[in-house]
């Protein structure tokens, strides 16, 4: 490894990248088969770029209507699906003074606890907030968040003052949008491969070990 990393910061997707599930799809499996199938199909279309995420995100949330009590269950699902070696490799990046942030269209209430266990502080976790009523029922999402839109990750990343060079990493078309403001984009295929994403990526990787080679150098 070189003494100086090739990339000084990394913007990392969560669903199907850091963890091998799509959170909203997992929540949908707690509902009936019709809801689960409809939500999974919508997620697939959004991640392949076939339909803008903003046309689908709110509809998926209304269909699933996650409850407060389901957030710890989803956190457990994320824990069980962490990409092999991710914790150890991220620790290597940090040891080389690389700043690592999470940038996700998933739910902060479920991602946050897992991220903290992986060494992220709350300011490094960018995700969507949702509201619950007094009974714990779903009461809506934060519509002001750009992360519920097709190019929202790019918009948010542009506002963050991260050290350069910056590598963005993800599996979906919403992640690829970060390429416009990052110095390079790595398509992660460890859980899902989307041709529209890999065809336009600077790197294609299937493991966190491969990411380390890119970030820190040989």
pLDDT for 197: 96
Give start and end residues of each alpha helix (H) in the chain.
23-28, 33-48, 57-64, 71-80, 86-95, 108-117, 152-159, 173-176, 195-198, 208-216
Higher pLDDT, 2 or 215: 215
For 166-188, the pLDDT digits (tens) are 999 999 999 999 999 999 999 99
pLDDT for 1: 43
Residue 77's CATH number: 3.40.50.1000
Q: Is 160 within the bounds of a domain?
A: yes
pLDDT for 2: 46
Work out the end-to-end distance of the chain between its first and last CA atoms, rounded to an integer number of angstroms. Answer: 5
Which range (139-143, 151-155, 198-202, 207-211) has the least confidence?
139-143
Q: Is 28 within the bounds of a domain?
A: yes
Share of residues in the chain with pLDDT > 70 (%): 96
pLDDT for 181: 96
Segment 185-212 mean pLDDT: 97
Higher pLDDT, 202 or 55: 202
Q: Is 4 within the bounds of a domain?
A: no
For 43-71, the pLDDT digits (tens) are 888 778 777 667 678 888 888 999 999 99
Q: Is 1 within the bounds of a domain?
A: no
Q: Is 118 within the bounds of a domain?
A: yes
Q: Is 108 within the bounds of a domain?
A: yes
Q: Residue 87: is its pLDDT beyond 90? A: yes
Segment 102-122 mean pLDDT: 97
Give yes or no for a contact between 179 and 202, defined as CB atoms under 8 angstroms apart: yes
Catalytic residues: 13, 15
Q: Is 22 within the bounds of a domain?
A: yes
Q: What is the band of 3 on the pLDDT scale with cuts at 50, 70, 90?
A: low
Higher pLDDT, 133 or 39: 133
- Indicate the number of domains in the chain: 1
Q: Is 3 within the bounds of a domain?
A: no
Higher pLDDT, 100 or 34: 100
Domain ranges, residue 113? 9-216
pLDDT for 72: 98
In Å, how far are 57, 104, 197, 200 from 145, measured between CA atoms? 12, 11, 23, 26
Place of tokens 């994403």: 197
Question: Which two three-digit tokens encode residue 7?
Answer: 């990339």
């Amino acid at each position: 490894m070189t003494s100086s990393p090739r990339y000084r910061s990394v913007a990392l997707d969560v669903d199907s990248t850091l963890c091998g599930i799509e959170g909203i799809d997992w929540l949908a499996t707690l509902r009936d088969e019709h809801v689960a199938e409809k939500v999974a199909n919508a997620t697939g279309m959004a991640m392949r770029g076939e339909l803008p995420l903003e046309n689908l995100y709110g509809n998926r949330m209304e269909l699933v209507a996650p409850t407060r009590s389901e957030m710890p269950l989803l956190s457990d699902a994320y824990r069980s699906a962490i990409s092999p070696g991710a914790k150890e490799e991220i620790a290597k990046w940090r040891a080389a003074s690389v700043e690592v942030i999470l940038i996700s269209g998933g739910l902060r209430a479920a991602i946050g606890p897992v991220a903290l266990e992986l060494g992220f502080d709350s300011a490094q976790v960018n995700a969507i907030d949702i509201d619950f009523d007094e009974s714990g029922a779903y009461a809506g999402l934060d519509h002001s968040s750009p992360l519920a839109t097709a190019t929202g990750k790019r918009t948010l990343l542009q506002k963050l003052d991260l050290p350069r060079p910056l590598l963005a990493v993800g599996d979906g078309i919403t992640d690829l949008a970060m390429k416009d403001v990052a110095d390079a984009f790595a398509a992660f295929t460890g859980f899902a491969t989307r041709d529209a994403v890999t065809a336009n990526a600077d790197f294609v990787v299937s493991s966190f070990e491969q990411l380390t080679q890119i970030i820190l150098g040989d």
